[in-house]
Structure 1
Amino acid sequence: MSDLAPWAAHPSRSRGRCHAEESGDRGPRDCFQRDRDRIIHSISFRRLRHKTQVFLAPDGDHFRVRLTHSLEVAQIGRTIARTLGLNEDLTEALCLAHDIGHPPFGHAGEDALQKATAGQGGFDHNGHTLRTLMRIERPYPRWPGLNLTWETLEGLAKHNGPVASPAWALAQADDEARLELTTHASLEAQVAALADDIAYDNHDIDDGLRAGLLTLEQIEAVPLVAEGRARLATRFADVPRDRLTGELIRSQIGAMVNDLIAESRRRIDEAGVESVEDVRRAGRPLIAFSPAMATAERDLKRFMYANLYHHPRQLEAAAAAHHVVAGLFAAYRADPALLPEEWRGRLPAEEPGVSRHIADFIAGMTDRYAVARYREAVGPIDLPEGF
């Protein structure tokens, strides 16, 4: 770890874990490496292979799901962290865990749970990530959760920036771990947040083209994509246009990563930080795109929302997904005896605990498990093509 920058998170200076652990002989790993490994071996991480990324319960083997997306985010995050002298293991742990709190069917499922629990504090996937890793996962005999380090919990809580008014789940995590929610997170957490943006900005284009919901002509109307396409046209003048999609995605990821690294170095130097605590007190993010790339990235996002995420076929599928999740919640709330025995046994006696417990159960479901439980608990349902 001697090559870590002074402002990187160093395992020897970790603030530790919520629960004291006995020392054991489990290999020569530092605390952040153990966090990463605990996440990889968790049940909630394995379930990501059957949770929506863009396409609901996709019937094509080549579409991304939450698991493959998380792996792609980790690859991008590791590259950036390594180049900037940051802690690669902590960055990887944050990238791998950042979507663990998503319920089935992605944002459609989250919206359904938020509405169903609005009177009991609501549902937020970021807060639920902390709740899952600190309370719901139970692989150890002496404490709930994975007992991750303070730095990993902090990064998951505020990788998108300081949190002034946390919802109940994140507030509970903060009560237990004192995550200093009003400050910025480590540079490793900031890298994880933008690695996520880089991954889905570009890979969702790939999936949208594969699904036939986007065309090359459409995406080339986006300035960032048009610039990349023009460069490729010069380099590969003899290659058919439809053979260059992969190269376009790769070159665009490269351009965004290189811009991020250059701008982040400039900001770190300008801020004069000398420690990870200086990073938290900096008052602004130090990992960022340049102003020009930030504008281009926002333009790309607007295009994707208008043409892919809000495509009529996607909206039809999202409506069906919302119906499944809302129907499950209503059925379990009306008759908690429908819950599996393990979940019935831990059902709180009153609200808001009852609704939050039911939401915990549903949020852990995969897409296909949710559909199966709906048919079992509610009844038949006709689903759009693609489920």
Structure 2
Amino acid sequence: MIVRARWASDPANSRGRLHPEPRPDVGAERGPRDAFQRDRDRIVHSISFRRLRHKTQVFMAPDGDHFRVRLTHSLEVAQIGRVIARTLGLNEDLTEALCLAHDIGHPPFGHAGEDALEEALADHGGFDHNGHTLRALMWLESPYPRWRGLNLGWETLEGLAKHNGPIAHPQWALAEADAAFPLDPTRYSSLEAQVAAIADDIAYDNHDIDDGLRAGLLSLDAILSVPLVADGWDAVRARFADCAPERLVGELIRSQIGTMVNDLIANTRANLADERIETAEDVRAAGQCLACFSEPMREAERTLKRFMYAELYHHARQLEAADMARTVVAGLFAAYADDPRRMPDGWRESLPDAQPARARHIADFIAGMTDRYAVSRYREHVGAIDLPDGF
């Protein structure tokens, strides 16, 4: 029997779904699953989730099979999130659902593709991948006969909406979701959602180092200029003094993840005690994020992020690839806006006549594309393109 903490989210007390569904009894046709388990399974079985295997994480359509993509990143976030949730007595299923779905709204080519859609929709409300996650799951993916979307539960949608914290001024996509199914955007989310958000940071802070070294865009000497990494490296070298340095990179990454997870767990427990948190509602009413690093770790992580932006994310090769990605996405938007007959039948037939819905519909189609599908559509509808190494 699973024993959860008092402040864990309880599927039996869920605020429900936008479209009420009869709850099957245990052992019924679709199995003995609670509301959060069903949400997780709906996400895993969705087309949007499957597409993540061909969407950029750091490297765009990488040549190597060993680099991370959005799908493998999401799985790694879920692994970290579940460990934290289990240790804190939280609901692991809700945490996992949030971790797996948090990047579903990313367009092809990651943030470069997002920048291009933001510019294309500048006169129509803009584009935000977090808002598009809600849009994709609530409206666009419709495998059920009686309603649009996956009809996920309130707690799952709330956690996805607030992946980056409370929202004072929701962008149009989030505002539409909130209008249909009020998500209390200005309040803090559940502890499960807070854990999913910081598990995302822990995953990419560390795994991007691994991929950067593998790609040759980072060097071990350079990354050791970051104090957090240097401390971890010294500890690993001391433990494995008889091993060659190149054999220890994986151990460094694992050790650093553990260090960050342990700091998060200890600090979160202290926050829960200090704020006298007793219930899941107390978490939302606390007025602050409770699942967070200690101040020393927070500063150490900020220093690591500054290094990664300077040396990896803004590396010349990455910037070249990002420029090409923006060209592809902007070119596709212009092509479909100019001649909607280029869109597949279902998308073309449902294209609204008036703005801003028309432009947003085109962006919905492009945002759902994988990297390779976007490149192939560009070549078909716009013209030839020479892609930088890595595509």
Q: Fold match, TM over 0.5?
A: yes
In 1, Cα distance between equivalents of 2:345 and 2:205: 41
Deviation of residue 92 (structure 1)? 0.1
Q: Mark the runs of 5 or more structure 2 residues left unpaired by the alignment.
A: none
- Residues 1:382 and 2:390 aligned together: no
Q: Deviations over 1:144-198 (max 9, x none)?
A: 0000000000000002211000000000000011000000000000000000000
Residue 237 (structure 1) aligned with residue 257 (structure 2): no
Q: Distance in 1 between matches of 2:238 and 2:389?
A: 40
One-letter amino acid of the counterpart of residue 108, structure 2: P
1:261 maps to what in 2? Answer: 265
Amino acid of the structure 1 residue aligned with 2:136: T
| Other-structure match for 1:208 | 212
Which structure 1 residue ranges, 5 or more long, are not aligned? none
Q: Contact 2:263/2:297 (CA < 8 Å) preserved in 1? A: yes
1:64-83 matched pairs, under 5 angstroms: 64-83=68-87
Counterpart of 1:43, as a letter, is: I
2:106 matches 1:102: yes
330-339 or 76-85: which moved more? Answer: 330-339
Partner of 2:348: 344
Secondary structure of 2:352 counterpart: coil
Q: Given the alignment, which residue of 283, 302, 317 partners 1:313? A: 317
Supply the distance in 1 between the matched residues of 2:266 and 2:183 (Cα, whole angstroms): 29
CA distance in structure 2 between the partners assigned to 1:313 and 1:321 by the alignment: 12
Q: What's the counterpart of residue 162 of structure 2? A: 158
- Deviation, 1:2, is 5.1
**Are the counterparts in 1 of residues 130 and 163 from structure 2 also a CA contact under 8 Å?**
no
Which residue does the alignment assign to 2:6? 6
**d(CA) in 1 for partners of 2:268 and 2:20?**
36
The answer on 1:334 being equivalent to 2:327 is no
Alignment RMSD:
0.7
1:50 matched to 2:50: no
* TM-score (ref. length: structure 2): 0.98
Q: Write the distance in 2 (CA, Å) between the matches of 1:116 and 1:16.
A: 36
In structure 1, the residue matched to 2:279 is 275
Residue 188 (structure 2) aligns with:
184
Please give the TM-score of this superposition, normalised by the length of structure 1. Answer: 0.99
Q: 1:31-42, aligned counterparts within 5 Å?
A: 31-42=35-46
Post-superposition shift, 1:21? 1.3
- Give the whole-Å Cα distance in 2 for the aligned partners of 1:88 and 1:78: 5
Contact 2:81 2:96 in 1 (8 A): yes
The one-letter code of the counterpart of 2:46 is S
Cα deviation per residue 1:95-123 (whole Å; 9 max; x = unaligned)?
00000000000000000000000100000
Report what 1:20 is aligned to: 20
Q: How far did 1:337 drift?
A: 1.1
Specify the code of the residue in structure 1 equivalent to 2:89. Answer: G
- Which residue number in structure 2 is paired with residue 116 of structure 1? 120
Distance in 2, Cα, partners of 1:3 & 1:345: 51
8 Å Cα contact 2:139-2:149 kept in structure 1: yes
**Number of residue pairs matched?**
387
Distance 2:115 2:163 in 1: 21
CA displacement, residues 78-98 of structure 1 (integer Å, 9 cap, x when unaligned): 000000000000000000000
Q: Which runs of 4+ in 1 moved over 4 A?
A: none
The CA distance in 1 between the partners of 2:23 and 2:2, in whole Å, is 24
Q: Which residue of 1 aligns with 2:129?
A: 125
Cα separation, 1, equivalents of 2:214 and 2:156: 35
Matched AA of 1:85: G
Residue equivalent to 1:363: 367
Q: Distance in 1 between matches of 2:182 and 2:359?
A: 26
2:255 to 251, 256, 275: 251
CA–CA distance in structure 2, aligned partners of residues 160 and 114 of structure 1: 18
CA distance in 2, matches of 1:17, 1:90: 14
Counterpart amino acid of residue 10 in structure 1: D
- Distance in 2 separating the partners of 1:382 and 1:2: 55
Please tell me the residue identity of whatever aligns with 1:262.
Answer: A
- How far 1:22 moved relative to its partner? 3.0
Q: Which amino acid aligns with 1:350?
A: A
